């Protein structure tokens, strides 16, 4: 597993706590997708369904660093 420095998140969000909330939301999305794929998994289609074996939190943090996740604020 790689290492992601926390300094990267200072540029993305107003503070690190917001970055944690954004990454947690993304991790829940990734986990839901993974669970849906596992439900579809059978012996016949095992080669067709690709399930990433990395931890969902690491994938979510990596997505945030790479810019795949955007923070949208609805301040009213």
Q: Is residue 73 part of a domain?
A: no
Q: Under a CB-based contact definition with an 8 Å cutoff, are residues 12 and 6 in contact?
A: no
Q: Is residue 1 part of a domain?
A: no
Which pTM does this prediction carry?
A: 0.76
Per the structure, how many domains does the chain have? 1
Q: Is residue 8 scored above 70 in pLDDT? A: yes
Q: Is residue 30 part of a domain?
A: yes
* C-alpha dist (Å) from residue 74 to 34, 47, 60, 71: 28, 42, 22, 10
Q: Is residue 75 part of a domain?
A: no
Q: Is residue 44 part of a domain?
A: yes
Average of per-residue pLDDT across 25-49: 82
Q: Under a CB-based contact definition with an 8 Å cutoff, are residues 9 and 64 in contact?
A: yes
Taking alpha carbons only, the member of 15, 8, 25 closest to residue 67 is 8
Domain that holds residue 14: 7-66
Q: Is residue 72 part of a domain?
A: no
Taking alpha carbons only, the member of 57, 52, 55 closest to residue 21 is 57
Q: Is residue 57 part of a domain?
A: yes
Q: What confidence score (pLDDT) does residue 38 get?
A: 83
What is the average pLDDT value for the chain, to the nearest integer? 82
Torsion of CA 64, 30, 59, 13, to 10 degrees: 20
Band (pLDDT 50/70/90 cuts) for residue 32 is: very high
Q: Is residue 71 part of a domain?
A: no
Average of per-residue pLDDT across 34-51: 76
């Amino acid at each position: 597993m790689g290492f992601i420095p926390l300094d990267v998140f200072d540029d993305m969000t107003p503070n690190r706590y917001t970055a944690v909330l954004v990454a947690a939301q993304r991790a829940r999305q990734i986990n839901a997708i993974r669970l849906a794929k596992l439900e579809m998994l059978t012996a016949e289609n095992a080669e067709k369904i690709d399930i990433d074996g990395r931890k969902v939190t690491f994938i979510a943090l990596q997505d945030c660093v790479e810019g795949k996740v955007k923070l949208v604020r609805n301040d009213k």
